[in-house]
Amino acid sequence: MVTVRPPAEKMRLYLPGWPFASCRECAVHIAQLGVESQIVLRTSPVFDSHLDQIECIEFTCPPTSCGLKRLAGILEFYLGRYYQTPDTRRDTARLVRGTQEFALTRGVPVRWLFGVN
């Protein structure tokens, strides 16, 4: 008997104004959960030195509740560390899960987004 897994849910983490190295560090940390993680570069044809180089970090959702709990911990760590990074567009950090978009702020637990404690 062959077991067919449903396709992994894609998520996008937008971190406007964050340094490239910090986004890369966050993407690597997420990849350590055993899921696919990649940095999506900005594709705007107009160069603006005030904008960051990163569009978002794209990754698949961990399949287990333990993985989701660890992912929430990683996101909470990075939001607490870099949340005050200035952004000239007045954009905010946000997480896109399927068709839902969630604003992320420092100090607010991310765990509720994944339904874990």
User: If pLDDT is split at 50, 70 and 90, which confidence band does 104 have?
Assistant: confident
pLDDT (mean) for 54-83: 87
CA atoms within 13 A on the CB side of 6: 5
Sign of CA dihedral 22, 83, 61, 38: negative
More confident residue, 96 or 82: 96
Q: What is the mean pLDDT of residues 19-23?
A: 87
Q: Does the structure show a pLDDT above 80 at 47?
A: no
CATH number of 10-114: 3.30.70
